[in-house]
Structure 1
């Protein structure tokens, strides 16, 4: 009597080679696959899974999203660079300032500064999109910056024949607010220690609100104090104090009071923290106005020009230690840096 051929529709089953049913059945009559021939389609699918993918012979391009600290370091090392730290509480207009500046560059030179490239173009386009007509929004909108590690937007710019890089730090406003509660939070903020310019944003819309005015007036000095106490400004960067959302201020019945309050904030910062900074300048901007009749990007050209000003050279204190050895009495010859 001829031996019965063991057939299973499941190609992975090895019962025909003396193994056990892959479905775990001792009674093979209960297995749905046993005794059936494999379908032709199964073989074709198996062949597709094993299809060899042709090697990629193109060029892999780096992403163009905002940079982390490591990649920002590379930019700083490749060209003469300016690091801009932007400090602002939640919804003070930080993202709008960055996006508004990028949109101005697409129209031509800004304050005789020419856009010369960026490694974060996709990131810049993303934050600009919701403020453009193409987004089909009823009014301009900016996504809030997520909490976490700082990211940097990158511009290469040409001014007076000199090519430079501009790195603008983007960190969640809540993290800056926390510095007012715990000054030690400032110690990890790399963008502030390395900054050539610190830009403090004063929310014009909230300053025009009788409910929010006191919070705006009080929060900014506390944030700067927390950073100063932890040596965040050891390089003595220049300081730009920027009133944002001036379109909302001008539409308010309290616009005269806002102007007085803004001047009071500037004077208070000068009196309390002038020793921590180089030059201090103030600016009024409408980076992304809600009113279509207001010029988008007003005031940003003057702010950019201030950003490009050279700051005070960081000064160190040379300390001498004498242990009685001959080497300790040798003089150090000063040399100019190239």
Structure 2
């Protein structure tokens, strides 16, 4: 008895190989494609039986996801740039701070800066989505940063007539926590050695918790100490210490204690590590508040203003080598060039 050939007009269907309809029909008579020849017949197949792929006639666009280090270097080379290192343990609000800044730029200028573009737009939209109404979540949420190589979020800004880039380093909070356990874990964090500003995040919600308070107060100085021991701050960057989730602090019965603890953390870091940094400043933020009565992005404009302040820059001592030759005694004479 001859075997009936199984054919389908849907080229994606493999019913001839597996016997199952790709449209999910158990009764093949109900499938609108079954039993029909694919459009174009054999013309769509090459001599070797493989489908011919037409030449792409469009424009290939970059993926616009967070940048790996090589692509970040190209941004640094194209415009005057600021590199921001954000240090925060797991769930301290790092992703919310980045997303909150991007959302503020959707409304208008932030700290006298106008949004002028980004090569990481898709990545920014992804981290913002779960904090928006369109996500249909009951409350704002931020995806946690995955462990692995550092990535960078990119903003171009027009500020005081100058076009500048900002690159915000994004690394898993667990990797920062590991520095508190073993200082050598900071050796690979090259983004901190390049940073113009270091931003240390203090989790306000955990600081308001009697169970977590001591851990927050103790861990942050240990992380900074580990980075200092590995030469992470040789450029003497400016330092911003940021209390996140202030909406949770204000809703807590311990808000006065949290404010005292935060001031103590700021003063302790300044006293212990002042020689390793340029200018110090502290901020209180609510980047992605759970309470709809609290303004989203509170405190971020002031933080961005600080980020854009020029740093002290690395200090060096000019050394003069004397070999005893006459040429070593010659000096450069200024001359007017035509």
What's the TM-score once normalised by structure 1's chain length?
A: 0.83
Q: 2: distance between equivalents of 1:76 and 1:91?
A: 29
Q: What is the CA distance between 1:325 and its match in structure 2?
A: 7.4
Q: Which residue is 2:203 aligned to?
A: 203
Q: What is the CA distance between 1:321 and its match in structure 2?
A: 5.8
Q: What is the CA distance between 1:44 and its match in structure 2?
A: 4.3
Report 1:224-239 matches (<5 A). 224-239=224-239
Q: 2: distance between equivalents of 1:333 and 1:229?
A: 40
Q: 2: distance between equivalents of 1:52 and 1:72?
A: 37
Say which is worse superposed, 205-214 or 48-57, in terms of deviation: 48-57
Report 1:1-338 matches (<5 A). 44=42, 47=45, 49-319=49-319, 326=325, 329=328
For the Cα contact (< 8 Å) 2:44–2:52, is it kept in 1? no
Q: 2: distance between equivalents of 1:135 and 1:326?
A: 74
Q: 2: distance between equivalents of 1:149 and 1:334?
A: 50
SS in structure 2 of the partner of residue 188 of structure 1: coil
SS in structure 1 of the partner of residue 187 of structure 2: helix
For the Cα contact (< 8 Å) 1:321–1:328, is it kept in 2? no
Q: Computing the radius of gyration over CA atoms, which structure comes out larger, 1 or 2? A: 1
**Residues 1:126 and 1:229: Cα distance change in structure 2 (over 3 Å):** same
SS in structure 2 of the partner of residue 73 of structure 1: helix
5+ residue gaps, structure 2? 5-35
For the Cα contact (< 8 Å) 2:116–2:157, is it kept in 1? yes
Q: What is the CA distance between 1:86 and its match in structure 2?
A: 0.2
Q: What is the CA distance between 1:51 and its match in structure 2?
A: 4.4
**Residues 1:332 and 1:61: Cα distance change in structure 2 (over 3 Å):** farther
**Residues 1:93 and 1:275: Cα distance change in structure 2 (over 3 Å):** same
Q: Deviations over 1:68-121 (max 9, x none)?
A: 011111101100000000000000000000000000000000111110000000
Q: What is the CA distance between 1:318 and its match in structure 2?
A: 3.8
Q: What is the CA distance between 1:47 and its match in structure 2?
A: 3.0
**Residues 1:76 and 1:253: Cα distance change in structure 2 (over 3 Å):** same
SS in structure 1 of the partner of residue 177 of structure 2: helix
Q: Which residue is 1:21 aligned to?
A: none
Q: What is the CA distance between 1:250 and its match in structure 2?
A: 0.2
Q: What is the CA distance between 1:186 and its match in structure 2?
A: 1.4
Q: 2: distance between equivalents of 1:60 and 1:332?
A: 55
Q: What is the CA distance between 1:41 and its match in structure 2?
A: 7.0
Q: What is the CA distance between 1:50 and its match in structure 2?
A: 3.7
**Residues 1:218 and 1:326: Cα distance change in structure 2 (over 3 Å):** same
**Residues 1:140 and 1:333: Cα distance change in structure 2 (over 3 Å):** farther
Q: Deviations over 1:183-241 (max 9, x none)?
A: 12212112100000000000000000000000000000000011011110011000000
Q: What is the CA distance between 1:293 and its match in structure 2?
A: 0.8
**Residues 1:212 and 1:328: Cα distance change in structure 2 (over 3 Å):** farther
CA-atom RMSD in angstroms:
2.7
For the Cα contact (< 8 Å) 2:45–2:52, is it kept in 1? no
